[in-house]
Structure 1
Amino acid sequence: MKNYVDVEEKLPLKITLPLSFQHLFAMVGATILVPILTGMSPSIALFCSGVGTLLYILCTKAKLPAYIGSSFAFITPILIASKNYGPEAMLSGVIASGLVYVIVAIIIKLCGVNWLNRALPPVVVGSIVIVIGLGLAGTAINWAGLNPSFVNDQMQNVPRWAWITVSVVTLAVGVIGSMYFRGFLAVIPILVAMIVGYILSLTLGIIPKQAINSILSSSFFKVPAFMFPKFNINAMLLMAPIAFVTLAEHIGHVYVTNNVVGRDFTKDPGLHRSILGDGVATMFAGFTGGPPNTTYGENIGVMAITKVYSVWVIGGAAVIAVVLSFIGPVATLIENMPMPVIGGVSILLFGIIASSGFRIFVEDKIDFSKNRNLILASVIIVIGIGGASLDFTLGGSPVQISGVALSTIIGIILNLILPQQSAAELKNSN
């Protein structure tokens, strides 16, 4: 007797709705956190995740259940591009990232996937993921109020003890929830932590009265503040290389989904269609003011727990996300998320990102007694978090590549040119 709901199955609406809301709750915390951290619009991010998921379903011929949401890998490049070139210019970088996906999808369709595995082996991907997490560590500490030298306008009217209390309690709830919550709550510990932190912030007076008034007075229907891109080669060169990191993540998610559902989605509908859907979703986000997207492991976890693989349930979650993005009080509530709440969950989330890199090392049994692996990881991590920058002129315009983008490019180049064994290792093996 079958104990699961298959990909193409359509359940009654009264069953589909709660299952769709469960998927929404699984991804909403992370999806809205990315724009909150980067100064973008959470309501637009929610809108883009919903539309992006529907576009993904269309590209994969409704044969691969996956939810598309905001990508944490792009947080640092978004912050740098927005600061240096402006938010509209940054969006051209988002489009460039999506275009990388589309190009890779075409190449995979024509040539297969071996070349991508060669360019991005686990030691390179793991090192870049560590850079992404550690590069954001200082930001999380600042937002949590744990750096005495960090000053923010919001802190001026709030006692430091109250600020730290909210961030620590938020972090504690996230940690406890991740370890001890069961059932449905186990899927949304970060969302629960943010809600608890929000309520505590209200109690301690951290949220200003004008913010509370704006939430209460917000009109029920509110069109998100869409923003449109402005071409900028610097922003595009800064953000496009990060797509290779999320590509590796995307491919990993497809293989995990294969195991969960018991199908080979790399053959039907094909890995190229999955990557194409992710790229189209990210390009759409860039054209409307949203952050880059990626497939979400949280939703794969929901499918693994519930054994409900229906793409109709995933599509239902996407439609709900689009609807919620137009509800004013929801958008205003999210936009007024207190900074210590963000800081508290960021300590956990940014740390998890970095730890995911170490997890790649462990799961793929990376041998650091080999000089090649040691060199790759060392160079990528130091360049990525050490503040390295490469400045040059392209077509008369100054160009700067730094941080994660620079470490990704150097990591790929080093991986392609370094021999598998050093001279000493070759001698010892003989």
Structure 2
Amino acid sequence: MKSSPFRWSVHGDGKSISPGTVVSPQERLSWGRTIGIGAQHVVAMFGATFLVPLLTGFPPSTTLLFSGIGTILFLIITAGRVPSYLGSSFAFIAPIGAAMNQHGMGGALGGLVMAGAVLAVIGLVVHIAGSHWIQTVMPPVVTGSIVALIGLNLAPTAKTNFEQGAVTGLVTVAAILLAAVLFRGLLGRLSILVGVLTGYLVAVLRGEVDFSAINEAAWIGLPEFHTPEFHVSVIGLFVPVVLVLVAENIGHVKSVAAMTGQDLDPYTGRALMADGVATIIAGTGGGSGTTTYAENIGVMAASKVYSTAAYWVAGIIAVLLSLFPKFGALIATVPPGVLGGAGVVLYGMIGILGVRIWVQNRVNFANPINLSVAGVSLVVGIANFTWTVGELTFEGIALGTAAALLIFHGMGLIARWRGTEPLDAAEDTGAQPSKLG
């Protein structure tokens, strides 16, 4: 029987989960419990998804609408087999900012559409040919470098916002860090949201928040829509981000497969295509580019519920919330100091996620090729090197990505040709383990 995104069997009695078992993507608990878990997914994605439009100047309600629509499309395209919420991708923050400076919001939206189209094509190729070739083209040393440079490239943006409200920004940073270690379960995983709310409260007390836009907004209405404009000069800004989205989506599918014990490899291509289509649609109407959300994996791991029915609920709730303009206006009142504080933590975390990829895959930096890939690409990305060729402008993320790919494959090719390909360094037999192992 073919998988259907609209059909779920009830797990057990629909009320409880037996020890050692999980609610699979094709199952659900009672609808009351499923709706409650779906609402948890909305809370989990909330802070991060709204932070992207606040940092880039996009309309928050529009971004929320398209994240909900994107989630529903993802569930349909993956035939209800891959549970995921498609929230705003932080990988697009730097390209959107650069494109906005050059061509305004329309140019940034055009870049999102182009990036989504490339991702959808890659998804189609993966669906037909499998995903093994991606590992060959983008091994962990390359993937980790790209993720790291995207996060660290945003450091100047965080500083600019932080300096506009240093006290509020400092409180926001402290609240995020404390929430991560003070609270357990869902609240601990929502440390960014807790920190932003705390910083917002301090900003209100300090008179840094302007509420006039809320009074002017209607209670019910459609979000603010914008149309894309297409410029050749933004291609170099957005296309490199696709490589990060590929890594994120593949990682998400593998994580869910490991936690549910199901073989989801046949759905990897569909997941990539779905995220590509969702990003295209978001770019067409004024929303931010999307990606699968690690925050929601945390909710699934804690609840043991991997039902795609809960994500249908989350997607529908997101769409309904986007139809309240006052809600979107309230989100848009978050001041720069709060955004700067959140950015300090968040951008640093994105950078370290790249390092985690190296660690998890035991990338050997005694190998000069790996060392060169990481070192050169990070400097290019962090310093935001820029190269203009005609109408095309390539900035730090694009050039850093190109550097990582060219150095890895170029040095490897020459080393194999010359017979100088470095071997892994032998273990140091004289080394003693530390207390941390």
Q: Which runs of 4+ in 1 moved over 3 A?
A: 10-13, 420-429
Contact 1:5–1:308 (Cα < 8 Å) also in 2: yes
Q: How many residues align?
A: 404
Cα distance in 2, alignment partners of residues 118 and 187 from structure 1: 33
Partner of 1:44: 62
Classify the secondary structure of the residue corresponding to 2:389: strand
2:232 aligns with: 233
Structure 1 residues 206 and 264, CA gap change in structure 2 (3 angstroms): same
**What secondary structure is seen at the aligned counterpart in 1 of 2:211?**
helix
Gaps of 5+ in 1: 146-154, 156-162
2:308 alignment counterpart: 311
Report the Cα distance in structure 2 between the residues aligned to 1:124 and 1:201, rounded to whole angstroms.
Answer: 40
Secondary structure of 2:27's match? Answer: coil
Residue 146 of structure 2: aligned partner: 128
Deviations 1:254-273 (A, max 9, x none): 11111122212113xx2111
Pick one of 94, 99, 105 that aligns with 1:87. 105
Structure 1 length normalisation: TM-score? Answer: 0.90
Which AA in structure 2 matches 1:199? L
- Report deviation, 1:109: 2.3
8 A Cα contact 1:94 1:236, kept in partner:
no
1:155-189 CA deviation, whole Å, 9 max, x = no partner?
5xxxxxxx322111111111011122113312312
- Partner of residue 177 from structure 2, selected from 175, 178, 194: 175
Q: Aligned partners of 2:423 and 2:400: how far apart in 1?
A: 31
Which of 412, 415, 425 is equivalent to 1:419?
412
Write the distance in 2 (CA, Å) between the matches of 1:427 and 1:92.
43
- Consecutive unaligned residues in structure 2, runs of 5 or more: 1-17, 425-437
**Secondary structure class of the residue paired with 1:255:** helix
Once the two structures are superposed, residues 218-252 of structure 1 have per-residue CA deviations (whole angstroms, 9 ceiling, x without a partner) of: 32113211111112111233212210122112111
> Percent identical across equivalent pairs?
36
Query: Contact 1:20/1:313 (CA < 8 Å) preserved in 2?
Result: yes
Matches within 5 A, 1:16-31: 16-31=34-49
2:195 is aligned, of 190, 193, 196, to 193
Q: Is the contact made by 1:52 and 1:282 (CA closer than 8 Å) also made in structure 2?
A: yes
| Residue in 2 that maps onto 1:152 | none
1-side partners of 2:126 and 2:23: how far apart?
30
Structure with bigger helix share is 1
1:117 aligns with 2:116: no
Separation of aligned partners in 1, 2:410 and 2:203: 53
Aligned-pair CA distance for 1:425: 5.4
- Larger relative contact order (C-alpha < 8 A, sep ≥ 6)? 1
Which residue does the alignment assign to 1:320? Answer: 317
CA RMSD of aligned residues (A): 1.8
CA distance in 1, matches of 2:180, 2:423: 46
1:281 aligns with 2:262: no
CA distance in 2, matches of 1:184, 1:376: 37
Q: Is the 8 A contact 2:61 2:325 kept in 1?
A: no
Aligned to 2:402: 409
Cα distance between partner residues in 1 of 2:159 and 2:271: 36
Q: Distance in 2 between matches of 1:106 and 1:354?
A: 29
Go from structure 1 to structure 2 and tell me whether the alpha carbon gap of 1:426 and 1:224 turns closer, same or farther (over 3 Å shift).
closer
How big is each residue's C-alpha offset from its partner over 1:50-83, in whole Å with a ceiling of 9 and x where there is no partner? 0000010110011110110111111111100111
Q: Cα offset for 1:216?
A: 3.9
C-alpha displacement of 1:29: 0.6
1:294 and 2:291 matched: yes
SS in 1 for 2:387: strand
Paired residues of 1:90 and 1:232 also in contact (CA < 8 A) = no
Corresponding position: 1:65 with 2:83: yes
CA deviation after TM superposition for structure 1 residue 424, in Å: 9.0
The structure 1 residue matched to 2:30, chosen from 3, 12, 17, is: 12
Structure 1: distance between partners of 2:246 and 2:87 = 14
For residue 74 of structure 1, the aligned residue among 92, 114, 130 is: 92
Distance 1:426 1:144, change over 3 A: closer
Partner of 2:251: 252
